[in-house]
Structure 1
Amino acid sequence: MNIELTDKQKIKIINSEDVYAIMQKVLLREEIIDQEKEHFWIIGLTTHNKILFVELVSLGSVNATTV
């Protein structure tokens, strides 16, 4: 799953709280059944720490995912 962002959503990441806020919104959009599974996400950034994309690399079981 690759999430496209609008220019307004391409905010600058300053600290881990910024990443938490973004990922919380992403994860709340998922189906209930997938919320209990292990996820491996990538957040692509520019050289100025602005978000380019958010991509789900792997969705595993309840306690593991294959990378």
Structure 2
Amino acid sequence: MKKTYKIEVDCANCANLMESEAKKTDGVANAVVNFMTQKMIVEFEEGKDPKAVMKNVLKACKKVEPDCEIEL
């Protein structure tokens, strides 16, 4: 399943770093962060709860940019 989330990211480099961290998160099959549109597209692994996975994705993104926000 794929879902699109609105994300606040300050620069293209941070977006790339967040994308890398999101891809490493358990339950994420693939992730794409688009700095220009301020959106994150996440593809979840089969059988994983998107809400639980996104909480971990948000934690991972906050390591890159502490003031990052993702509209869950």
Same fold (TM over 0.5): no
Which structure has more helix as a fraction of its residues? 2
The TM-score with structure 2 as length reference comes to 0.32
Q: Between Structure 1 and Structure 2, whose CA radius of gyration is higher?
A: 1
